[in-house]
Amino acid sequence: MPQLPMITNLMRPGGKLMLALLLASLATALPRSQVQHNTYKITTGNFAFFALNPNLLPVSPSPVKTPANHFEALALPKTTPHPAKTLSVPIFMFHHAGNAPPGADPVRRDLTVSAADLDAQMKYLKSAGYHPITQTQLFKALFMGGGLPSKPVLITFDDGYLDNFSQALPILVKYGFPATFYIISGRVGGRGYLSWEQIKVMEKDGMDIGSHTVNHQDLSIVSAADLKHELGDSAKDIGAHLGHPVYWFCYPSGRFNARVLQVENEDGYLLAATEKWGRKQSSDAPLALSRYRIRNTTGLEGFKNILQLS
Ligand SMILES: [Zn+2]
């Protein structure tokens, strides 16, 4: 059971003491094997306890390599670079990792990169001297004169699927690579999707968390009210759970227009990823980053071929 000073700490943020004590005592009353399989660990300040969650997998696949709290407050500078700063940074777009379920339709299969392929692709990046970067690094390089490591690349996953935690995260952590996970905030905790606790663990493991709207709507055709909801409320929801603003965005199906860009600016997004094929990223179009889609059939050779493109 926790000691008294730790309980005092827990009371400060939200007065959830009774719930915490209940869950903590419940967890300690369970046999050890049951605790391991049916609970997950919550850490609040220096106070940790176990909460029941039969749907959740064990967390933290390996030691954290990046700082636990890597959030940094950023804003577009008043004057943007002239001429525009252009960088060659391949950004990879993944969706599912692991095996598609039996009977999966062609779209689902196409969106799924096997753990073996993903591991081989990440291993190749490491051995060939590529350096996966964070969104903050890319933003600073475009707008603040920040430097980048040699052969920079950026790894992204769309939609916030559960297998991003169970399959992709252990591989990324193994190679010490950061990646960005674009979350559909309205689907968090749903069947097949990440939970907020898993998203927080991923951030602690050095991953960037971005928004992918509330409901995955085509932003180029929604009403003004829906546009505001999809952009603004997803940022608010994710930001409230992570405890800091969300700057990174990704368009459902890559669709956007001038009206979307306007609202994105109002909501504080700094970088947004499209599905436009290419690797040239520009300070003139930070809300229209180009990406390379990685498919089920891409494999290691296809991945190497993409890296050879200019
Ligand atoms: Zn999507």
Does 81 map to a domain?
no
Q: What is the DSSP letter of 101?
A: P
Query: Does one domain contain both 36 and 173?
Result: no
> What is the whole-number distance in angstroms between the Cα of residue 253 and the centre of ligand 1?
6
Q: How many domains does the chain have?
A: 2
> What is the whole-number distance in angstroms between the Cα of residue 216 and the centre of ligand 1?
6
CA distance 27 to 71: 32
> What is the whole-number distance in angstroms between the Cα of residue 251 and the centre of ligand 1?
7
Q: Where are the alpha helices (DSSP H) in 144-291?
A: 162-163, 169-175, 196-204, 224-228, 234-242, 258-266
- Prediction pTM value: 0.79
Query: Does one domain contain both 16 and 146?
Result: no
Pick the closest to residue 155 from 177, 128, 174, 124 (CA basis).
Answer: 177
Termini Cα distance of the chain = 58
Res 310: pLDDT: 77
- If you search the block for the tokens 């998203």, which residue do you land on? 199
Give the mean pLDDT of 64-90.
83
> What is the whole-number distance in angstroms between the Cα of residue 39 and the centre of ligand 1?
30
> What is the whole-number distance in angstroms between the Cα of residue 120 and the centre of ligand 1?
24
pLDDT tens column, 290-304:
999 999 999 999 999
> What is the whole-number distance in angstroms between the Cα of residue 138 and the centre of ligand 1?
22
Does 131 map to a domain?
yes
Query: Does one domain contain both 119 and 237?
Result: yes
Res 300: pLDDT: 98
Does 149 map to a domain?
yes
CA distance 142 to 176: 24
Does 59 map to a domain?
no
Query: Does one domain contain both 180 and 294?
Result: yes
Pick the closest to residue 200 from 47, 73, 50, 71 (CA basis).
Answer: 71
pLDDT tens column, 129-161:
999 999 999 999 999 999 999 999 999 999 999
Query: Does one domain contain both 241 and 122?
Result: yes
> What is the whole-number distance in angstroms between the Cα of residue 267 and the centre of ligand 1?
20
Query: Does one domain contain both 272 and 134?
Result: yes
Query: Does one domain contain both 46 and 160?
Result: no
> What is the whole-number distance in angstroms between the Cα of residue 245 and the centre of ligand 1?
21
CA distance 88 to 85: 10
Q: Are 42 and 48 in contact (CB under 8 A)?
A: yes
What is the average pLDDT score of the chain? 84
CA distance 189 to 289: 28
In Å, how far are 13, 105, 156, 229 from 108, measured between CA atoms?
41, 5, 18, 27
Query: Does one domain contain both 110 and 252?
Result: yes
pLDDT tens column, 260-279:
999 999 999 999 999 999 99
pLDDT band at residue 37 under the 50/70/90 scheme: very low
At residue 207, the 3 state secondary structure works out as coil
Q: What is the DSSP letter of 170?
A: H
Does 57 map to a domain?
no
pLDDT tens column, 166-196:
999 999 999 999 999 999 999 999 999 999 9
CA distance 310 to 263: 32
Query: Does one domain contain both 22 and 132?
Result: no
CA distance 307 to 287: 23
> What is the whole-number distance in angstroms between the Cα of residue 182 and the centre of ligand 1?
8
> What is the whole-number distance in angstroms between the Cα of residue 46 and the centre of ligand 1?
36
Give the structural domain span for 159. Answer: 86-308
> What is the whole-number distance in angstroms between the Cα of residue 83 and the centre of ligand 1?
32
